[in-house]
Amino acid sequence: MSTLTPEQWQSLSPYLDQALALTGDERATWLASLGEQNPALAAQLGVLLEEHRVLAQEGFLEKGPAALPNAPGLAGQTLGPYTLISQIGQGGMGSAWLAERSDGRFERRVAVKFLNIALMGKGGEERFKREGSILGRLAHEHIAELVDAGVSAAGQPYLVLEYVEGDHIDRYCDERMLDVEARVRLFLDVLVAVAHAHANLIVHRDLKPSNVLVRNDGKVKLLDFGIAKLLEGEGHAGEATVLTVEGGRAMTPEYAAPEQLRGEPVTTATDVYALGVLLYVLLTGQHPAGSGTHTPADLVKAIVDTESPRPSDTVAPTQANAEIATTNATRRATTPEKLRRLLLGDLDTIVAKALKKNPRERYASVTALADDLGRYLRNEPISARPDTFAYRAAKFVRRNRTAVALATLAFAATIAGAAGTTVQARRAREERDFAFRQLSRAEAINDLNTFLLSDAAPSGKPFTVNELLGRAEQIVNLQRGDNASRVELLISIGRQYHSQDEDAKARRVLEEAYQLSRGLSEPSPRAQASCALGSAVARGTDRQRAEVLIQEGLRELPNQPQLTLDRVFCLLRGSEVARGQGASQKAIERAQAAKDLLKSSPLQSEILDLRALMDVAESYRVAGQYRDAIPVFEQASIVMDSLGRGNTETAGTLLNNWALALQLFGRPLEAEKLFRRAIDISSAGQSEEAVSPMLLNNYARTLRDLARLDEAAIYAERAYAKAKQSDARIVLQQSTAMRARIYRDQHDFARASAMFAEVEPMLRRNLPPGHAGFALLASEESLLELERGNLKAALQLANEGLTKLEATVKSGGPSEAMPTLLMRRSDIELRLSHPNEAAADASRAQSLLQTVAQPGTFSGNLGHAYLSWGRALQALGKREEAHAAFRSAAEHLQNAVGPDHPDTRAARQLAQLDTQPR
Amino acid sequence: METTISALMGAAEGGDGAAAEELFGALYSELHRMAKRELARRGTPVSLSATTLLHEAYLDMAARSGPSFPDRARFMGYAARVMRGLIIDHARERHAQKRGGLFEITSLDTESMEAAVDHRELVQMSEALDELGEVEPALAELVDLKFFCGFTFAEIAVLRDVSERTVQRNWEKARIYLHRKIRADLSL
């Protein structure tokens, strides 16, 4: 079939028009009658129409460019004498292809591996080939041979390797149900190969089952020495160079050693570690970091921090894993109990020594590991010694001195508290949260954690957190000992009160800690005491003292590594205090400084990282920098989930703040989901009784923005009732205003009007004069007048709102409400038939929003601005521009507030997206 | 720059080849500014479509340049072709990234790798479209608007002031031409 010439096409074109205008049956009749007059033409048309039927079936061009089918890729291309056949792998290493030698000299199947172009660097091709030849030295029966290395015409370096047809070693063992001894023997072959590479100064760095194949004949073959770093040996300096700059990143996290994750030097000990993991998997069927899916964060944490369980413990059957344990044992031709006993002792010890976090504590060489396994097979005593309990315990206490003290305290207090007090339902979640916090303090003391968790969980024995803290206070007071540790414990108790919103108690305890700390000379407890007190004082009326205390604390702390955590603590408290005072830039700076400090510090604490992240995000939010805040909230939430804290009260707070940022950024559809999750966390399967009124009111606001007015009214009323009950003034004011707005939208004007009247005195009580809240109130009231049809009054109020806001902005206040106020005035002006003014306001609103918008994402605020602007343009007779504006409005609104929102529908209709065929 | 665009459109339509080239250059940089940030962004939950980008560009330029600005249909015709070029450039770029990025260990972004368009197929399509543009420019423009920029039939109908059925019929015609062209090339 050939392409049509332009002339042919032009002569056929009018007939195609006719044919395509007809339905199927009509078309056949038409074509038949045409055939009688002009058979050649009809035949050509028939072919084209058949082609049309086919392409319609394929859905040709129906999906847009992103959905075009993928090309066959590189298949069929040649590289030197090799022709690529099919892709056989794609991973951290790069892509690998099966290829065939095609120059006819001899037939051979090979694997071609493409390497990163960035690897070339200076010296390019020549250097690559030279280093390839060093890899070629690795001739060993258990290592896949490097056949060739080169650079493709397109500049892509590649390696040609022996093609190995085989199974991953773990699958090979499982499928053949090899017992422990056979597995160890097979593993020894792997060790021989790696030892050979090490002798040639080549470290593998990416040992894992998919790189260790076993052929059908039982022969082990190691793949992928391609990314190995050539070690600089004595006397070889300068000759053996680093092959890949990417090497540090080209690894598989599951088999990565702690030093790789920490970015430390990679040595032969790195391979020893990976081999330890591989042995662990072969023996137990599970990864040392535990079974199941891991988030990368979990995995990294486990590899760097957590001692893995002994293999014998891993295979021991428990109620929870009985099935898995049996499966794994069967694959090793035994029962779970027998397998456990086989591993207990020497194999436990050998694996533990290979898996030491500190490279220097591991086997000194792969050969040493092989020797011990050989001794095990021969029933001789092995060289490695098991860790004693005392050794482990001492190591733990060194690492977690304070944490142990606190956990012990909590432990004692919990026992004391379990005696007989009753628990209120709403306290349950706080206790759970408290337990999680304890957990984070003393992560490693597993049985303590278990105790706290099971005891403090909602279904556990009853006690209140206040009780617990009260007893803790008593115990501290009874304690003899140095004042520094008393100060630390008091701070810890005070912070607990603080987070339980027991502000008065928090201030009392922290004041005591502060006074006590004045008699100390160590900077750490002194600074902590000032900063903790500062944050407690900031909640009261004495805001100036709060800032003074923070600065005092920060001054006490010179920038020394051992004081890093204290500095972080003070910076985070300082950020909180600055936020409370509206000094949002200072808040951002402090939180950011804390985050950076943690990053550069050798101390690794994901919990602290998380807290710093949350403070950075919240500071951005308070500053109105939503575009910056949202991604940080998201990041914090991911960390929170990965630490297993996704259901704590802190997570609820995070979700609330994040949702609020999304909401204010004009993305209520997303905000709604997060608020919902926050409410679910707070309600913990019970009623929504325990949910904070602030959260309820925030949720009501989002529902209102989504035009779900009836639900919004319910939540706003509940927020109002709860706020009244607990005398929370700010929420009372906010929920009153929210109810007024909702009733106005529901056209219950009398009620709305009465409620707006209530808001004004509340604002006067709660806010300083000149606050943006007054401007917003005027603007809200202008909408009420607009709805009532009092256009003049509406315009007056809209003007009043803008005048007030401009004054606020002039004196340094936030300007984020400006676009909203402009849009509203635009709508009013339009109704008053002032389209020019309306267009100007809407256009200004739109451009203000564009400057803060996140490029490329939708925003309900922008959608509304475009809608207002479009209407004004339409009134001005600018049809084309109006349509463009409506089109934009429709897309923004559709994504931000949903397709069924009345404004979305209006925009779609105005943009003529919903018109019927004419 | 906006006034130049309208002047250039006039000149280009008068057959001035250099003006046409300059017009495309100018539109390219303007749309590139808007589209680049858009197309480069992956991983955001929902991104704006090419259609909306074109509309916002039009609105932007029209608002700045006043009443002399060319009508929307003409603007969109030119802009859609430029957008096609942008999308193809983007696909090429991605292709390059895909190759350069082979060694990145990170598991991230596999999804966008999957979705990555084969730039060669797009280039082929673009060449076929240029040919179609020689024979029936209106059909080629229709494909740019519909396929590359995501306009709906209804919208194109409004833009061209014809019925939606006419637009649909023309679309089927264009598809036949392109399918035939591309299939013929593939079977070589």
**Runs of H (alpha helix) within A442-522:** 446-456, 465-478, 483-499, 503-517
CB contact under 8 A, A887 and B102: no
Interchain proximity A3–B134, CB inside 8 Å: no
Chain B hits for A94, Cβ within 8 Å? 102-103
Q: Above 60 in pLDDT, residue A166? A: yes
Which is nearest to A787 in space by CA: A751, A733, A837?
A751
pLDDT interval class at A252 (50, 70, 90): low
* ipTM score assigned to the predicted complex: 0.76
For residue A352, the surrounding DSSP H or E stretch is helix A346-354
Choosing from A170, A174, A189, A206, the catalytic residue is A206
pLDDT of residue A885: 92
Identify the closest residue of chain A to B75 by CA–CA distance.
A880
Cβ of B48 and A856 within 8 Å? yes
Q: Tell me, what amino acid is at A679?
A: I
CB A89 within 8 A of CB A95: yes
pLDDT by residue (tens digit) across A782-840?
A: 999 999 999 999 999 999 999 999 998 888 777 888 999 999 999 999 999 999 999 99
**B135: containing domain:** 2-186
Interface test with chain A among B105, B158, B185, by most A beta carbons within 10 Å: B105
pLDDT, mean of residues A107-128: 57
Chain A residues whose beta carbon lies within 8 Å of the beta carbon of residue B155? 887, 911-913
Residue A2 banded pLDDT, cuts 50, 70, 90:
low
Nearest to B151 by CA among A890, A553, A545: A890
For chain B, the average pLDDT equals: 70
B108: tokens are 């991230």
What distance in Å separates the CA atoms of residue A716 and residue A701, rounded to the nearest whole number? 8
The mean-pLDDT minimum among A33-37, A747-751, A806-810, B54-58 falls in B54-58
For residue B40, the chain A residue with the least C-alpha distance is: A856
Listed by number, the residues of chain B in 49-108 with a beta carbon closer than 8 Å to a beta carbon of chain A are 49, 51-52, 55-56, 58-59, 62-63, 71-72, 87, 91, 99-107
Answer yes or no: do A915 and B183 touch at CB < 8 A. no
Q: What is the pLDDT of residue B43?
A: 31
Chain A residues inside the 8 Å CB shell of B101 = 116
Look at residue A121 in the predicted model and tell me its pLDDT.
40
pLDDT, averaged across chain A = 77
| A180 vs A280: CA distance, rounded Å | 11
Distance CA A578, CA A1 (A): 75
Least confident interval from A84-88, A254-258, A515-519, A746-750: A84-88
Query: Tokens 């005398």 identify what position?
Result: A727
| Contact list, B181 vs chain A (CB under 8 Å) | 3
- What digits encode the pLDDT tens for the residues A378-416? 887 777 776 544 344 333 333 333 333 333 333 333 322
Q: What is the pLDDT of residue A889?
A: 93
d(CA A86, CA A691): 58
Helical residues (DSSP H) of A684-728, grouped into ranges = 693-705, 709-726
**Each residue of A833-874: pLDDT tens digit?**
999 999 999 999 998 988 887 776 788 999 999 999 999 999
Q: Do B48 and A891 touch (CB under 8 A)?
A: yes
Kind and range of the H or E run holding A157:
strand A157-162
Q: Do A61 and B143 touch (CB under 8 A)?
A: yes
Beta bridge partners of A157: A151
Higher pLDDT, B2 or B109: B2
- Give the model confidence (pLDDT) of A172-213 as tens digits: 999 899 999 999 999 999 999 988 888 776 777 778 888 899
Q: Report in angstroms the alpha-carbon separations of A549 from A520, A533, A566, A638.
A: 17, 7, 14, 33
Does A64 contact B135 at a Cβ distance shorter than 8 Å?
A: no
pLDDT digits (tens, 9 = 90+) for A494-511: 877 776 667 788 899 899
pLDDT value, residue A322: 81
Roughly how many angstroms between the first and final C-alpha of chain B, as a whole number? 45
Q: Specify whether A346 is catalytic.
A: no
Of A56, A68, A881, which is closest to B117 when you measure between CB atoms? Answer: A68
B179 in A contact zone (CB under 8 Å): yes
The answer, yes or no, to whether residue B40 has pLDDT greater than 60, is: no
pLDDT tens-digit map of A429-468: 444 444 333 333 333 222 222 222 233 333 333 345 555 5
| Residue A605 pLDDT | 66
Which pLDDT value is given to residue A101? 76
Residue-level pLDDT at A875: 93
Region A693-718: what's the mean pLDDT? Answer: 93
* Total domains, chain B: 1
- A89 by DSSP, 3-state: which? strand
Is the per-residue pLDDT at B111 higher than 70? no
Q: How does DSSP classify residue A210?
A: G
- pLDDT of A146 reads 76
**Among the listed residues A404, A412, A442, A430, the one whose alpha carbon sits nearest the alpha carbon of residue A498:** A430
